[in-house]
Amino acid sequence: MGLIDTLIDSFDLELDLEQWWYSRQLLSPLKRFRKFIEEVLLLEVAQNTIIFIDEIDSVLSLKFPTDDFFAFIRACYNQRADNPQYNRLTFCLLGVASPSNLIEDKRRTPFNIGQAITLAGFRLQEVEPLLKGLSGRFSNPQAVMEEILDWTGGQPFLTQKLCQLMVLESQKEHPYSVEQVVREQIIESWEAQDEPEHLRTIRDRIITRDEQKAGYLLELYQQLIQQGEIDFTNTSEQSELRLSGLVVRREGKLSIYNQIYQEVFNHHWIEQQLASLRPYSEAFRAWVASDCSDESRLLRGKTLLDAQAWAQGKDLSYQDRQFLAASDEKQRKKQIAQKEQEAQLERERKDREAAEKRNLVLTEANRQAKRQIRRGTMVLTFTTSVAVILGIFALWSGKKVAETEVYLNNAEKLAKLAGQLEDEGSHTEAKELFSLAGQSVNISNPKYKLAMLLAGMSIGYQELQEPDLELARKYLQKSKKQLPSEAHSNSQEEKCDSAKVKCQLRILTLKTEGNLFKQEEKTDESIKYYRKAFLLMKGYSPFAQNIEGKVLSAENVEIFHQDFIELLSTGGDDKLLSSVKESLKQHYLSELDNLLANQKWQEADLKTARAMLYIADREEERYLDQESINNFFCKDLKTIDDMWVKYSDSRFGFSVQKGIFKLNYWKMYDDVWGDSYWDSEYSNSQMEREGYLPYASNRQLSTHIFTGNVRPRLSGSLSSRAGSCNL
């Protein structure tokens, strides 16, 4: 409608545009324009008519499609064959564009009509009007004009602008030369001084919204600068660069239009623009040129990370995304290959270590072949020993050979599974399986023997690096089938008679099932089975002398408590958690009582340290500090002290240590340490030589807890705590 209104005013037509426009509102705007041409313009104006459309490059940059408009112009030209009136109508498009730009939709017929007019720059003989403006201002205006044309290459706008600047310069007392004016008022800080806008227009035509297209134009221009000129091959990139006005075609060559453009759009400017458009431009172009097959051009390392960071939030072309994705994929494959190589080296290292360890264990196993199977025995030694023991038993009894064979087969499977855990570095878990295998020999009931082995295999398959929970569940069910039905009572009041193997096996299977649910992340179910096992365990002592076949070792009991505490700490019953913690404490004290009763002083000393660290909640730190000693429960300290005093005939204990320390404290302080040595370590042997601990074994309670060395202040603190607890 705006274009029609302009034509009405230009041709002074008498037409009520508003009424005419809305009376044809069922037609599209383009069809209404065509109606205006046929029914109004060509009828009212009898002369030849030319419609000029200026700034055609601005029309192309409009945000709505313009293909229909240029297709209409082409249709008007084609109408000349059917309607002679159209011979009087001509459209003249003014601006920077090529016919291929006018209709972008490749599915439509291109704008293949008309004639392009290329404007050349001013030559010296064509600038006489401008030369008149310089006359009278310079002694040799002809020379000034020639120098101006040397800088502008005859580019009309720049030539006129520079002439105007020289006229103003001539008015100064000491005018600058043409070169000085060009550099100071055009080239230097050109973006700020570019008024009216000219250089910035050229820049914007090259740095288009299409970053891929801009990158191609910049690289082509970079090649032209490096070589001075290149052959004109009429590619789309060369045509675009010509339309920008930056370069010109001369005698079949493409070169930079003038010296001003070359100074402004120089190497440094190109590098800046390429870096901002695509930091990986060179590699990208080479990769595309290879039909996206040259992997040596793909990015890697920091270059790839920088490119990915640059690409964030940008609307990249499909090929850009493909290039970055291919680079990332290659980098990922390289990392995977590197990790696989490292994993292979690690596996080889572990294999060597496992082989060395097996050799060491085999040597030890051969030395202990006549002894009962213990924890840590390797597969071959274990199965051989079990076969010998049970083979003799089978011959002696003369029955149940089939049961013996079943037992031996499962014992071998369990031993192999333990060996696999050992190879994977799960030493504690492997030790537990060997322990179960060894304990099974002491059980006389063949079903109980088998139940214990099957439970052990269920545990083993749960503890592998890649657990097989389905197989673990299968072996657990087989284990439970070997036990009598009353052993599976759900009564929470059920107590465990330590003389009954089946009750111990019941605890073992409940704990194993709880672990399975834990692996499956079913915490509530896991706690439920652990709780049942815990209630049974309350009546069980691993140190009972009348046990008919030991299933659970002291170590098994300790591991059970620790696992249950860890499970409850994630969100269980606080009251139950407190009960389990108290039970573990009693277990430690029970172990200590057993060791002292058998006069195993060194092991008892270690167990004392373990118990005290647990009670003081200092297991992670592995030592007692001043605060933990001061806050140590008197009841527990007295329990431990009573055991030591009882079994050592009053030679060892905290109360005994208190008297020794009280007797020797000041002598030790004055004669040995002094102020500067108050917190330092002093060896046990030197203490003995100097007479401060009259009996060597007296040091074990107060010394081993602190990593084997006497620390006077902490030893004193223990003695002081014993005193405050009235020991």
Instruction: State the Cα–Cα distance between residues 364 and 256, nearest whole angstrom.
Output: 88
Query: Would you give the DSSP letter of residue 295?
Result: G
Give the rounded percent of residues in the chain with a pLDDT score beyond 90.
Answer: 10
Residues 15 and 92 in one domain: yes
Tell me if 657 is assigned to some domain.
Answer: yes
- Between the ranges 20-34, 56-70, 197-211, 659-673, where is the mean pLDDT highest? 20-34
DSSP at 85: G
Would you state the pLDDT for residue 391?
Answer: 55
Q: Is residue 98 part of a domain?
A: yes
For residues 716 and 634, membership in a common domain is answered with yes
At residue 144, the pLDDT reads 92
79 and 153 inside one domain: no
Of 354 and 58, the structure prediction assigns the larger pLDDT to 354
Long-range pairs for 136-143: beta carbons < 8 A, 24 or more residues apart: 137/166, 137/167, 137/170, 138/166, 138/170
pLDDT, tens digit (0-9, with 9 covering 90-100), for 2-47 = 888 888 888 888 888 888 888 888 888 888 888 888 888 888 888 8
Domain boundary pick from 53, 68, 102: 102
Give the model confidence (pLDDT) of 625-651 as tens digits: 888 888 888 888 889 989 998 999 888
Across the chain, mean pLDDT equals 78
| Cα–Cα distance, 688 to 244 (Å, whole number) | 99
Give per-residue pLDDT as tens, 292-338: 888 888 888 888 887 788 777 666 667 777 888 888 888 888 888 88
Look at 603 and 391; give whichever has higher pLDDT: 603
Q: Are 687 and 660 in contact (CB under 8 A)?
A: no
Do residue 98 and residue 142 come from a single domain? no
Residue where a domain stops, chosen among 102, 137, 170: 102
* pLDDT at residue 488, as a whole number: 45
Of the three residues 134, 153, 188, the one that is the final residue of a domain is: 188
Q: Is 256 helix (H, G, I), strand (E, B) or coil?
A: strand
Asked whether residue 158 is assigned to any structural domain, the reply reads yes
Domain that holds residue 183: 124-188
Count: domains in the chain: 3
Rounded to whole angstroms, the Cα distance separating 567 from 569 reads 5
Preceding peptide of 141 cis, ω within 30°? no
**pLDDT for 152 beyond 80:** yes
CA of 381: how far to CAs of 242, 371, 438, 442, 456, in Å?
89, 11, 12, 17, 18
Structure confidence at residue 550 (pLDDT): 67
| Distance of alpha carbon 60 from alpha carbon 73, whole angstroms | 15
551 Cβ contact partners less than 8 Å away, ≥ 6 residues apart: 436, 439, 443, 448, 452, 501, 504, 505, 508
End-to-end CA distance of the chain: 110
Instruction: Tell me 137's DSSP state.
Output: T
Residue 384 predicted with pLDDT over 70: no
Residue 290 domain flag = no
How are beta strands 253-256 and 247-250 bridged, if at all? antiparallel
335 belongs to a structural domain: no
Is 596 within the bounds of a domain? no
Contacts of 55 (CB under 8 A, 6+ apart): 94, 95
